[in-house]
Every structure is written in structure tokens, then in C-alpha cells.
Amino acid sequence: MVLLTAQEERAAFLRLAELRENDSRDAEQVRHRIIESNLRLVFSIAKRYAQPKTDEFDEFVSVGNAALVRAVDMFEPHRGWRFSTYAYKAIQRAIFGVYRQDRRRRQRIVSGEFEFAETLLGDDGDEVRRLHQAKLIRRNANRLMKKLDDRDRAIVMSRFGINRSESGLAFRKIADEIGISTTRTVQLFHRSMKLMRQAAEELRIDHQIEVA
């Protein structure tokens, strides 16, 4: 459905206000027409932040649709603005907000994964070698985690913020979530890291053999 012209927009909102004032059931039909005529704005903006036919794109469209509906209900035509302009800004603000949150979440996850890899590597002065090994460990993080039971895996992942929406947690908070003492949580964490360091060393040796 094509966008309404400025005159059509104004007429539609004046009609909507009149029908709402009279508590008419026809108000919803006019409201729906305004929403339908501006859905293309949602898709246009969502395409700027994600590829179509992806979960991320679908999420942005959902957020944008909700913003469009709110814009229709909050728009004040007497101020002289075009609704399409008002709606565009509202939709863009909503979608960008979710996009920014997703980026921050991904950055925290990547940061946690690198910290995890760096911790397993220990002290190695060769920066190029460390970078290569860190990437190797990150690619095989799930394989290393399988060395642990569910509780110990949860402790390590929470500590580094892996697969979480927030950054790594303090041992005290992890202990509260799991239901054990902070001291025991620290002990289990260090035991798990020792076990995975051994597995990481085997992984690096195996990789060197494969490459050689």
C-alpha cells in the first residue's frame, strides 16, 4: 500500500479523531488504514540494519511495527507535521535502539570469549602466536567446555560473560545464582580452568600437527 499524501494524512487523522470522539467502531478501520499505508517505512528502515529473511531483520520489523502503532496513537496533526516524517523518526529511533543493544551484547560476548582464551593461554611473549592461538581456542570453546560438568561450565561461562547479555559476573553473584558458597565457586572455577588449560594445550598441539 502506498504512502498517503499530506492531504490524505490530514484528512485521515481528522476523521480518526472525530470517530474516536464519537466512540465509533469505524475508528479502528481508519487507524488500520493509516498503519497499513506506512508499513513500508518499517521495512525500509529495518533493511538498513539487517539483511531481509533473517531473525535479526524480523526482530527489527516487529519493533518497528510496534513503534508505528504508537506513533499513530500519539500523533498530533494540529502541529502541522507530516505523519510520515513523524513516524519515520519514531521507527528509526526504536529500531536503532534495539540494534545498539544487540551490538553491545555481541561486543560483551566477544570480549568475554577473548578474555577466556587469554586466560587459558597463560604467559606467552609472542603476540602473533598468542593471537593465532586465541582464535583457535575461541573457535573450539564448546569443545573445551564439554570437559566440564553442567555446574562447572555455568560457573566459567558466567565468570567470562559467555552467552550472556551482560558482562562477566563476580564470584559472589555466581555463587548466589548456583546456590553454593563463594569460596567453593572460586575453587571450582580454578579447577575448571586448570582442566581446560590442559585440553587447550592438547588442542594447540593437535592443530600444529594438522598444519605441519
The CATH number of the domain holding residue 71 is: 1.20.120.1810
Residue 27 domain boundaries = 6-103
- Inform me whether the pLDDT recorded for 59 exceeds 60: yes
- Inform me whether the pLDDT recorded for 183 exceeds 60: yes
- Inform me whether the pLDDT recorded for 27 exceeds 80: yes
Give the end of a domain, one of 77, 103, 129: 103
Same domain, 10 and 66: yes
CB-CB neighbours of 206 under 10 Å? 12
User: Could you tell me if residue 57 is inside a domain?
Assistant: yes
User: Could you tell me if residue 25 is inside a domain?
Assistant: yes
Same domain, 125 and 37: no
User: Could you tell me if residue 1 is inside a domain?
Assistant: no
Q: What is the pTM of this model?
A: 0.54
Same domain, 143 and 190: yes
- Inform me whether the pLDDT recorded for 110 exceeds 60: no
Same domain, 82 and 157: no
How far is residue 15 from each of residues 81, 102, 178, measured CA to CA in Å?
17, 39, 58
Same domain, 116 and 203: yes
> Where residue 207 falls among pLDDT bands split at 50, 70, 90?
very low
Section 137-149 average pLDDT: 75
Section 116-124 average pLDDT: 61
Give the end of a domain, one of 103, 120, 135: 103
- Inform me whether the pLDDT recorded for 140 exceeds 60: yes
- Inform me whether the pLDDT recorded for 141 exceeds 80: no
Tell me which residue has cell 467502531.
25
208 or 38: whose pLDDT is higher? 38
The total number of structural domains that make up the chain? 2
User: Could you tell me if residue 168 is inside a domain?
Assistant: yes
Same domain, 37 and 81: yes
Same domain, 23 and 89: yes
108 or 163: whose pLDDT is higher? 163
- Inform me whether the pLDDT recorded for 19 exceeds 90: no
User: Could you tell me if residue 142 is inside a domain?
Assistant: yes
88-97, 116-125, 141-150: least confident range: 116-125
Same domain, 113 and 90: no
Same domain, 142 and 184: yes
Section 42-60 average pLDDT: 90
User: Could you tell me if residue 24 is inside a domain?
Assistant: yes
User: Could you tell me if residue 196 is inside a domain?
Assistant: yes
Same domain, 71 and 144: no
pLDDT at 108: 54
Same domain, 97 and 40: yes
Same domain, 65 and 139: no
pLDDT at 204: 59
pLDDT at 117: 66
User: Could you tell me if residue 201 is inside a domain?
Assistant: yes
